[in-house]
């Protein structure tokens, strides 16, 4: 369908959780000197002007990352806050591929996938001079079949689709299962929105019945589940996350709740499939 544009939502509360998890996962993996492969299956445009018509229409950044007082949050937010500040001076919010590129080293590689006819050229232009980065105009769901197992022996995969059609909730589990079968030691991060809780429950049941092990759920929401239209929460399913990540989020998420949704906010940290 390709109607979804992340520019409407860049820097919202869902991005805060997603990008904190991504940044901390990469920081942990970069403690080892060996090269790393980063795969972003739905990379978007890479960066988003905060003064664009799309951003101004929703104001989601203003009530998300733009509302955070980083000095009052746990130290785990420090690097994320520094990154946001450096791009805010340029009137931009950095997307997942740009955050990854900022922290990854010359020895590492980035494989980015995007199908949208507007976002893909912007993504290619953004990284045209970065020899570490390869941008493909193709379906990221198929990327894992061709790229895994990684020659680098280590990989982090971020899957962040639009969920424009309901079958994508099933497709993401199938895609990650395919990747896991090829490289069970890689780290997989899957972002999901909570619009209807029963849809997420079905997806979690798929994970539990799959062959994937060491699967965690990290979720943050602004309001309780309801039957109204719209996203009430979002989360990350992490396969083989950094062993430090659950305790890190136990420390970090209460402060996020206090700043963004002190009354109805909620978070969850669950090991849904053990090692």
Per-residue pLDDT of the chain (275 residues; tens, 9 = 90+): 454 557 677 889 999 999 999 999 999 999 999 999 999 999 999 999 887 656 566 668 888 888 999 999 999 999 999 999 999 999 999 999 999 999 999 999 999 999 998 999 999 999 999 999 999 999 888 889 889 999 999 999 999 998 888 889 999 999 999 999 999 999 999 999 999 999 999 999 999 999 999 999 999 999 998 877 789 999 999 999 999 999 999 999 999 999 999 999 999 999 999 99
Instruction: Specify whether 130 is catalytic.
Output: no
Cβ contacts of 37 within 8 Å, gap of 6 or more: 108, 109, 110, 111, 147, 150, 151, 152, 154, 155, 156
Cβ proximity of 272 and 235 under 8 Å: no
Q: What is the pTM of this model?
A: 0.95
Domain boundaries 6-273, corresponding CATH code:
3.40.50.150
Residue given tokens 């791009």 in the structure block: 87
User: Given 130, 139, 160, 225, which residue is catalytic?
Assistant: 160
156 strand-pairing partners: 38, 187
User: What number of other Cβ atoms are within 10 A of residue 51's Cβ?
Assistant: 8
DSSP alpha helices (H): ranges in the chain?
13-29, 53-58, 78-88, 96-103, 119-126, 143-147, 168-182, 197-209, 245-260
Cβ proximity of 212 and 48 under 8 Å: no
Q: Measuring CA to CA, how many Å separate 118 from each of 5, 42, 51, 115?
A: 9, 13, 18, 9
- Domain borders along the chain are 6-273
């Amino acid at each position: 369908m390709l109607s979804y544009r992340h520019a409407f939502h860049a820097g919202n509360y869902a991005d805060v959780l997603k990008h904190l998890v991504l940044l901390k996962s990469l920081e942990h993996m970069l403690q080892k000197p060996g090269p790393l492969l980063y795969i972003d299956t739905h990379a978007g445009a890479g960066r988003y002007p905060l003064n664009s018509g799309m951003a101004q229409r929703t104001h989601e950044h203003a009530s998300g990352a733009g509302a955070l007082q980083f000095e009052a949050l746990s130290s785990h937010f420090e690097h994320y806050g520094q990154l946001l500040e450096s791009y805010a001076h340029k009137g931009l919010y950095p997307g997942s591929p740009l955050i990854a590129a900022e922290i990854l080293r010359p020895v590492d590689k980035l494989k980015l996938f995007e199908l949208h006819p507007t976002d893909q050229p912007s993504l290619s232009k953004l990284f045209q001079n970065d020899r570490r980065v390869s941008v493909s105009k193709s379906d990221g769901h198929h990327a894992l079949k061709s790229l895994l197992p990684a020659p680098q022996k280590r990989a982090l995969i971020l899957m962040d689709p639009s969920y424009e059609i309901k079958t994508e909730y099933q497709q993401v589990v199938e895609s990650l299962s395919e990747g896991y079968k090829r490289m069970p030691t890689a780290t997989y991060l899957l972002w999901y929105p909570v619009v209807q809780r029963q849809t997420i429950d079905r997806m979690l049941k798929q994970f539990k019945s799959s062959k994937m092990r060491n699967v965690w759920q990290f979720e943050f929401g602004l309001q309780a589940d309801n039957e109204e239209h719209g996203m009430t929460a979002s989360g990350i399913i992490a396969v083989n996350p950094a062993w430090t990540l659950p305790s890190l989020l136990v420390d970090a998420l209460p402060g996020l709740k206090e700043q963004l949704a002190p009354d109805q906010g909620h978070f969850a940290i669950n090991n849904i499939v053990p090692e």
